[in-house]
């Protein structure tokens, strides 16, 4: 049997943020997100004060963080009604978390960045994603004003689906009954989407974030409807891993506010240059080494031998293996790493069956 070469990659969570949100909306990046997921036929960016107003969309509006199974249930209803009316279906969403716009020091915990969200929306085969910049002026609009000025006049929404617990408008003061009333007055159909439950519980982005923070990867993946991921660019690091037989490289995360799961060891799949490898991921403060107070995310890629610097990769979480802990010596740590690898390989073999 060929002896695998291990590459340990550290996700550096303390990185320079993107200069401005415009970089998130670069044409090439957006097009790649759409091409790679074969679903969204059109992406419309309203950041340049565009007005669509063709009165044709069956749509829903929201942040859609994670595009989880509950969101997909809503999107399915939007698509079915659009198909019945022979109209295009659309999701209207925001590139930046609304609260971040209103509170500059707010740090949202996100299940996905905007580009990743576009990819997940593409996978639902919705016809169109409309990017609506959230501004302070927009936050002052009442629900009726938002529906009239933005949804009706600027975008041209024909039918609006409202999530069962979703509220919009200044201070979220109104609910579905008011939305329905406003819609009738302005000639917009407003439909309340049905709920989606798993084991008697509602599915929400908040619930999934909590599961990730608790290391409940299997449950989180079930509610997402896909495996949770972290992506980033590999940059040069401390090279400490080489001294214990595990060459290391650091990854600078693309998404500053992406949720990092609980500290511990995970079984993962690693996507490098369109090839998928099996791997072992560690998230923790490296208490045995004592050389960095920050959180490190290190992935050991099995059967891999190549220079990864300045490359991008994505880690796909499969399962949680064990919690992080401090060892009495470096030798004990290395022994545990090899034991972890055996456990990870066994778990990933089960995944292949």
Given the DSSP bridges, would you call strands 296-301 and 7-12 parallel, antiparallel or unpaired?
Answer: antiparallel
| Angle CA 344–347–348, to nearest 5 | 85
81: annotated active-site residue: no
Enumerate residues 6+ apart whose C-beta is below 8 A from 170: 139, 140, 141, 142, 143
Query: Does residue 111 contact residue 228 with C-beta atoms inside 8 Å?
Result: yes
DSSP code for 154: I
* Three-state DSSP state, 84: helix
Nearest to 341 by CA among 1, 6, 10, 2: 6
**Token pair for 54:** 């063709």
Q: Are strands 229-235 and 189-192 parallel, antiparallel or unpaired?
A: unpaired
Catalytic residue among 214, 298, 331, 351: 298
Q: Which residues are catalytic?
A: 298
């Amino acid at each position: 049997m060929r002896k695998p070469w291990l590459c340990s990659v550290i996700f550096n969570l303390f990185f320079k943020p993107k200069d401005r949100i415009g970089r998130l909306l670069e044409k090439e990046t957006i097009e790649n997100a759409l091409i790679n997921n074969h679903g969204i036929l059109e992406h419309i960016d309203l950041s340049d004060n565009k007005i669509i107003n063709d009165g044709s969309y069956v749509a829903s509006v929201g942040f859609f963080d994670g595009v989880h199974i509950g969101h997909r249930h809503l999107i399915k209803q939007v698509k079915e009604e659009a198909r019945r009316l022979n109209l295009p279906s659309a999701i209207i969403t925001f590139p930046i978390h609304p609260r971040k716009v209103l509170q500059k020091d707010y740090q949202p915990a996100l299940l996905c960045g905007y580009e990743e969200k576009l990819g997940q929306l593409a996978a639902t085969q919705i016809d169109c994603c409309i990017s609506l910049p959230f501004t302070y002026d927009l936050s002052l609009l009442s629900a009726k004003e938002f529906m009239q000025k933005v949804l009706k006049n600027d975008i041209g929404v024909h039918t609006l689906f409202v999530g069962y617990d979703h509220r919009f408008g200044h201070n979220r003061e109104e609910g579905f009954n008011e939305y329905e009333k406003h819609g009738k007055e302005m000639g917009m159909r407003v439909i309340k989407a049905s709920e989606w439950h798993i084991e008697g519980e509602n599915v929400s982005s908040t619930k999934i974030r909590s599961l990730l923070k608790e290391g409940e990867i299997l449950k989180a993946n079930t509610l997402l409807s896909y495996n949770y991921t972290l992506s980033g660019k590999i940059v040069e690091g401390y090279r400490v891993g080489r001294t214990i037989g595990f060459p290391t490289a650091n990854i600078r995360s693309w998404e500053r506010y992406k949720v990092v799961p609980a500290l511990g060891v995970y079984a993962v799949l690693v996507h490098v240059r369109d090839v998928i490898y099996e791997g072992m991921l560690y998230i923790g403060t490296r208490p045995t080494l004592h050389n960095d107070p920050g959180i490190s995310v290190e992935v050991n890629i099995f059967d891999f031998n190549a220079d990864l610097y300045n490359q991008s990769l994505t880690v796909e979480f499969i399962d949680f293996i064990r919690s992080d802990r401090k060892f009495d010596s470096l030798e004990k740590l290395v022994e545990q790493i090899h034991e972890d690898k055996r456990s990870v390989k066994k778990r990933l073999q089960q995944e292949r069956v």
